């Protein structure tokens, strides 16, 4: 039996502002934007290449906007992925690494699969991390 994670709810305060961020800046694909009533709206988006989508909207969660932390977008080249998001206007932090359990900054010191990251926040403060996996030095 398969248990596939295919959708994660992200709490936001302004649906249109968040939709613009995720689609126009982060480059997520818009899958659905439907609102059958003033109190209910679903906007589903998928990161490029991902099997899992996110949903923002009205009436879909009682979680506090900005309360999600640590969602990982896995990439094969952290330097290129960070540059791509920065070019699109995402305020993304510099690449950092965990080397022997310690955090180290910079593009290459200790660059290693599962240990190299860059983080950014959406307009509400939900925290996303790029994580490098599959990099070939």
Whether residue 121 is found in the same domain as residue 85? yes
Tokens of 29: 């694909």
CA distance 77 to 132: 6
127 domain-assigned: yes
Considering the chain, what percentage of its residues have pLDDT values greater than 70?
90
Whether residue 80 is found in the same domain as residue 54? no
In the predicted model, what is the mean pLDDT of the chain? 92
CA distances from 2 to 5, 6, 26, 54, 124 (A): 10, 12, 29, 20, 33
Whether residue 75 is found in the same domain as residue 128? yes
Q: Tens digit of pLDDT for each residue in 71-100?
A: 999 999 999 999 999 999 999 999 998 866
53 domain-assigned: yes
């Amino acid at each position: 039996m398969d248990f596939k994670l295919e959708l994660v709810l992200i709490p936001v305060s302004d649906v249109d502002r968040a939709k613009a961020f995720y689609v126009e800046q982060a480059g997520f694909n818009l899958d659905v934007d439907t609102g059958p009533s003033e109190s209910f709206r679903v906007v589903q988006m998928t990161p490029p290449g991902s099997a899992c989508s996110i949903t923002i909207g009205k009436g879909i969660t009682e979680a506090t906007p900005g309360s999600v932390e640590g969602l990982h977008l896995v990439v094969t080249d952290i330097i290129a992925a960070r540059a791509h998001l920065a070019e699109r206007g995402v305020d993304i932090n510099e690449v950092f690494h965990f080397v022997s359990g310690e955090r180290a900054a910079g593009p290459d010191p200790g660059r290693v699969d599962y240990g190299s990251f860059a983080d950014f926040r959406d307009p509400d403060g939900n925290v996303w991390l790029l994580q490098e996996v599959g990099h070939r030095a």
